[in-house]
Amino acid sequence: MEKAEAALNKRERRTVFSLAGIFGLRLLGLFLVLPVFSVYAHGLKGALEHPVLIGIALGAYGLTQAIFQIPFGKLSDKWGRKPIIAAGLVIFAIGSVIAAQATSIEGLLIGRIVQGAGAIAAAIIALTADLVREERWTKAMAVIGITIGISFSISLILSAPLAHWIGVSGIFWLMAILSLLAIAVLYLVIPEAPAQFHRDVEMNPAILRTVLRDPSLLRLDFGIFSLHTGLMAIFVVLPLVLIDPDHPLLVLSDQWMLYLPVMLLSFIAMLPMIVVGEAKHKLKEVFILAVAILLVSVVLMAFSAHNLWLIAVALFLFFVGFNVLEASLPSLVAKFCHPGAKGTATGVYTTSEFLGAFCGGLLGGLLYIPGQHNYSDIFWAVAVIYGIWLVVALTMQHPRYLATRIFPLSPTASVQENLQERLLQLPGVAEVAIFTDEAAVYCKVDSKVYDEKAILDVLTSDC
């Protein structure tokens, strides 16, 4: 019976996979340029005179993503999900066209800024919640999360061959085309649904201050910020390390031969760590180990500027840690946040991720000096960031392994005295939040202990 209830029906599967596809195509467009961006940007007018703009252009989309993500989500509540998502995809396509036609580093920077302004992540997640039943939300969000990971891996593998075949400007044109195709999928495949506010997946300004004051959530926000700061800073210089004319390691068109085995092996290696973390309730230990692996990987990069095998080992370690943390950080946010605050906590977390992408590009651009071969300076700077993160991670509390369950609040139940206290007395119920405006009760429960019928009995009783 539980398996049947947990499964997505045909309509939900079509919706979730279509929305995940839109999400994935858009991210594929953003990530495709990552391994070739710095090399391409070097050939643009003004890049060598202002090298900091190379890094800023690489991470610029993160800044506008962070700025516009929450406003786009709120506008989708008011004007509808599909029009806002379509508008974001059009903005992204326009930015891609600007970047494709850019002949100067300033033009490329403008294109990347416009690309990021099409911030549709929150609206896509909200539309998913509109179209999928509450008890299936976890499964739906897992599909979207897996799609993001696959898009990232595919982009690193395909980037160099695509740049060789159609050029980096061709990749930007491809991004624009994919965005327009995504609009067609949005309107032709995905069903219509009225926009509803979902506290567990959307930002609620009323509790933003509470979320920002939660030390456990702030540690995780700092973590995702650090993770993407390091990622973007590394990719400002790593492509340049590989094609350095004084110590050439791998021509651009052959770099897929590095990324393909690294991504496959790192994915295989991360699976046991994820399983142990979740199934054995060792998330904190796995989390700390993953941050330590990241730190070791960037130290290896700092010492391996002219050795392809050491770079391969360092990248393997980096993506093991990166993949584990990308998978476990959202899970930890859900475990540490209070009932009814998941949407807001996730919004702050995602904003931190995009800000990290911008700051990483900025950091790499500030430290990189063309012609000086000071690649290791960037790797050491990232090592310092990851070292600080490791210290912060060590202070993290052990998460509680609780699930969120949402129950309807009837008018009779809403006037009961001590309703929250009565629910907290039930076995397996750890936290309760009652929202009369939404007519819902959010409970954090131990799935192995709690009795759903007992909760419903309290909510439907007259006293």
Q: Do domains 1-202 and 206-401 have the same CATH topology?
A: yes
Is CATH 3.30.70.100 correct for 403-460? Answer: yes
Both tokens of 455, joined, read 């909760």
pLDDT of 264 above 80: yes
* Separation of alpha carbons 458 and 244, rounded Å: 69
Q: Are strands 429-435 and 440-445 parallel, antiparallel or unpaired?
A: antiparallel
Specify the DSSP class assigned to residue 447: T
CA dihedral 334, 336, 341, 347 (to 10 degrees): -60
Cα dist from 390 to 219, 221, 223, 274, 291, whole Å: 11, 14, 9, 18, 6
Q: What is the residue extent of each domain of the chain?
A: 1-202, 206-401, 403-460
The domain defined by 206-401 folds into Growth Hormone; Chain: A; (1.20.1250)
Average pLDDT over residues 137-143: 78
Q: State the pLDDT at residue 416.
A: 67
Q: State the pLDDT at residue 414.
A: 60
The domain defined by 1-202 folds into Growth Hormone; Chain: A; (1.20.1250)
Q: Which residues contact 394 (CB under 8 A, 6 or more apart)?
A: 288
Average pLDDT over residues 434-443: 84
Query: What angle (nearest 5°) sits at the alpha carbon of residue 2, between those of residues 190 and 22?
Result: 20
Rounded percentage of the chain residues whose pLDDT exceeds 70: 96
Query: pLDDT tens-digit profile of 306-319?
Result: 889 999 999 999 99
Query: pLDDT tens-digit profile of 232-249?
Result: 999 999 999 998 888 888
Within the chain, how many helices (H) and strands (E) appear?
18, 3
Query: What angle (nearest 5°) sits at the alpha carbon of residue 170, between those of residues 41 and 16?
Result: 105
More confident residue, 116 or 139: 116
Query: pLDDT tens-digit profile of 359-373?
Result: 999 999 999 888 777
Overall residue count recorded for the chain in this entry: 463
Query: pLDDT tens-digit profile of 416-429?
Result: 678 888 899 999 99
